[in-house]
Amino acid sequence: MKIKIYYGGRGLLDDPTLYVLDKMEDVLKELRVTVERFNIYEHKNEISTLPHTFKDADGIILATTVEWLGIGGYMQQFLDACWLYGDKEMMSSLYMQPIVMSTTYGEREGVMTLENAWVILGGQPCSGLCGYVEDLVSFEMNQEYTLIIEKKAENLYRSISQKMKALPSSNQAIKQTVLRTPSMDLTPQESEQLSKYVSDDTYVKKQKEDIEELASMFKDILGKSNEADDKMFIKEFESHFIPEEGFRASYLFMIEGKKQPLFLDVRGDELTCYYGNEDNIDVYAKLSADIMTNIINGRMTFQRAFMTGVMTAKGNFKTLRMLDTIFNFIDD
């Protein structure tokens, strides 16, 4: 018999889950079970390939630690990889025991998360182990706790060796009627190859570069037909500028659909206005071209656009309110 352990914690020395796993390994080895452990944090760049290590296992243990909320990122990524790239047929005959220890609240919810995920994946969940540990030394010295851990290891061995069955679960019905795997019809071998591509940083980087190159090419093509748009709104701002003595501010408008943001720089009675990126801005604003058109046509003010949520902004809000003072579009 071979059991593989997948540990989703951070590997800290005072992690109670590591103590539990060590105890369980000792029991399983006494029962002549081959045990192999995978620390997911050591394989974080190749998590998508880990589900293919299930191949020669009779059962697995999914173990993690709740440190503040939920089962943690490493374990969640691993479960995502099982759903996207794992061999569902192989997992359907695989027994899984969840182990979740907690240094805060939420160990029972963590076990339920792992059990539900494994059932949806089609596997066979076994009775799990969870507990809250406030002081690791006291926990390790408690013989009753040690006995509970050892019994759980024995139960896992017994469940696998006796091929124990479970009653049907509603999670399976949900999987069949609601959840859907990706539309790609891949064989287990193709899924394995895809997971290797996903975990290959060089391959992924090359794909991203190719996509960026294509995107840049199409942007250039579109840019040639939209050169007139580079002057949009500039004339209106310049013609409605009302200087405010001693006022200095810079604004950057991220207008949806525009290749570059609209930059406004006010220095007393001087106004600089053009499309381009700048640093050290007092106010950043984001809005659609339609909202900007409404503002310069006098149908809406900057303040109203911000208060109603059609324009978002960050920076100095006193400076933001000055926009309606130095640019008066309402009188038209």
pLDDT of residue 295: 92
What average pLDDT does the segment 174-178 reach? 63
CATH fold for domain 231-326: Nonspecific Lipid-transfer Protein; Chain A (3.30.1050)
Percent over 90 (pLDDT), the chain: 65
Q: Which fold has domain 2-198?
A: Rossmann fold (3.40.50)
As a whole number of angstroms, the distance between CA 3 and CA 60 comes to 5
On the question of pLDDT at 106 being above 90, the answer is yes
Reported confidence tier of residue 22, pLDDT bands at 50, 70, 90: very high
Q: At 17, is the secondary structure helix, strand, or coil?
A: helix
Q: Indicate the pLDDT class of residue 35, thresholds 50, 70 and 90.
A: very high
Judged against a pLDDT cut of 80, whether residue 70 lies above it is answered with yes
Give span(s): CATH 3.40.50.360, the chain.
2-198
How far is the C-alpha of 20 from the C-alpha of 28, rounded, in Å?
A: 12
CA distance 209 to 122: 37
| Total-model pTM | 0.59
What is the residue type of 175?
A: K
Mean pLDDT of 1-25: 95
- What radius of gyration do the chain's Cα atoms show? 30
Q: 197 by DSSP, 3-state: which? A: helix
**Confidence band for 183, pLDDT divided at 50, 70 and 90:** very low
Looking at per-residue pLDDT, the higher value among 179 and 80 belongs to: 80
How confident is the model at residue 216, as a pLDDT?
75
d(C-alpha 69, C-alpha 105), whole Å = 8
Q: How far apart are CA 88 and CA 45, in angstroms?
A: 23
Q: What is the pLDDT of residues 127-173, one digit of tens each?
A: 999 999 999 999 999 999 999 999 999 999 999 999 888 777 776 66
CATH 3.30.1050.10 in the chain is located at 231-326
